[in-house]
């Protein structure tokens, strides 16, 4: 079972920031938080991941609370092409074993003009 | 640098036939993961393979499904005697060897299997 809780759906106005929350209250010390998205039945796309520090890349920012029990993915200027299902996943990373991703139901983000 | 290649993109099989889905990981990636997505449902993990080894097959149905990742060539997901309930999108992902702390998986575009 997925170890994260996300809202089922959210709306965002085009050009505004989209803030997608995720609760992972049972996260372990060696588990990372990963975000993926799936645009209309395409293959999931990696967005960002982090352990405890906030992270930023060309796609998004990830804010992780100090107790690591929750996080927020921020798309700073949402466009219509950001309409997708966003998945928050916790996973152990490291070593040669890799580690499977367990997808929950995700948040369906609709960016509206 | 080609991404994860899956073929065919679309596959139609009659009930009782065999389906073979192929996945070529990204160059340098030795870990392969298969996922299934039933219509209107989420992604379900099926199996995790490294070259010539099945590491985790906890999500594979006990019958008719098998997977391999040979030393040479693509990973193959094989479904024998397909039934209508096997109709789904099957996604493959790959990741590099060693520590995965700095990597997300890269997914392919999927194979849409339709059983008629």
Instruction: Inspect the interface and report whether the beta carbons of B35 and A93 lie closer than 8 Å.
Output: no
**Position A31 confidence tier, pLDDT thresholds 50, 70, 90:** confident
d(CA B4, CA B29): 10
- What mean pLDDT, rounded, does chain B reach? 91
DSSP string, B22-86: EEEPPTT--EEEEEEE-TTS-EEEEEEEETTEEEE-TTS-SSSEEEE--SSS-EEEEE-S--GGG
Tokens for A58?
């060309």
Residue B61 φ/ψ region, left for φ over 0, alpha for ψ in the -120 to 50 degree band, beta for the rest: beta
Smallest CA–CA separation between A100 and chain B, in Å?
7
Smallest CA–CA separation between B17 and chain A, in Å?
25
d(CA B3, CA A46): 13
**Torsion angle, alpha carbons of A72, A96, B69, B52, to 10:** -170
Instruction: Inspect the interface and report whether the beta carbons of B101 and A99 lie closer than 8 Å.
Output: no
Q: Is the pLDDT of residue A99 over 60?
A: yes
d(CA B52, CA B39): 31
CA nearest neighbour of B6 among B86, B91, B65: B91
Which residues in chain A have Cβ-Cβ distances shorter than 8 Å to B108? 43
HEC letters along A42-67: CCCEEEEEECCCCEECCCCEEEECCC
HSE of B95, CA atoms in CB hemisphere, 13 A = 23
Give the model's pLDDT for residue A91.
83
CA nearest neighbour of B31 among B44, B45, B52, B50: B50
Query: What is the 8-class DSSP label of residue A5?
Result: B
d(CA A37, CA B25): 20
Give the model's pLDDT for residue B1.
52
What's the pLDDT tens digit per position in B7-57? 999 999 999 999 999 999 998 888 999 999 998 888 999 999 998 899 999
Nearest CA in chain B to A40: B40
Smallest CA–CA separation between A82 and chain B, in Å?
18
Instruction: Inspect the interface and report whether the beta carbons of A98 and B108 lie closer than 8 Å.
Output: no
d(CA A99, CA A88): 15
Which residues in chain B have Cβ-Cβ distances shorter than 8 Å to A42? 109-110
- Evaluate whether A107 touches A9 at the Cβ level (below 8 Å): yes
Give the model's pLDDT for residue A98.
58
Q: Which of A47, A93, A104 sits opposite B42 (nearest CB)?
A: A104
Nearest CA in chain B to A106: B42
């Amino acid at each position: 079972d997925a170890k994260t809780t996300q809202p089922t759906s959210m709306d965002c106005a085009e050009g505004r920031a989209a803030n997608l929350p995720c609760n992972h209250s049972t996260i372990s010390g060696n588990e990372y938080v990963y975000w993926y998205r799936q645009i209309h039945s395409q293959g999931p796309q990696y967005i960002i991941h982090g352990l405890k520090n906030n992270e930023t890349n060309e796609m998004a920012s990830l804010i992780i609370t100090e107790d690591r029990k929750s996080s927020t993915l921020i798309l700073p200027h949402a466009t219509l092409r950001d309409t997708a299902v966003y998945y928050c996943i916790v996973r152990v990373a490291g070593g040669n074993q890799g580690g499977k991703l367990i997808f929950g139901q995700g948040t369906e983000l609709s960016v509206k003009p | 640098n080609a991404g994860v290649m899956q073929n065919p993109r679309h596959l139609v099989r009659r009930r009782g036939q065999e389906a073979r889905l192929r996945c070529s990981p990204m160059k340098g990636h030795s870990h392969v993961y298969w996922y299934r997505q039933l219509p209107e449902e989420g992604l379900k993990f099926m199996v995790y393979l490294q070259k010539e080894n099945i590491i985790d097959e906890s999500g594979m149905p006990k019958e008719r499904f098998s997977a391999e990742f040979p030393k040479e060539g693509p990973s193959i997901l094989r479904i024998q005697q397909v039934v209508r309930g096997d109709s789904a999108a099957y996604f493959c992902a790959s990741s590099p060897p060693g520590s995965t702390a700095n990597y997300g998986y890269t997914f392919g575009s999927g194979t849409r299997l339709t059983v008629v």
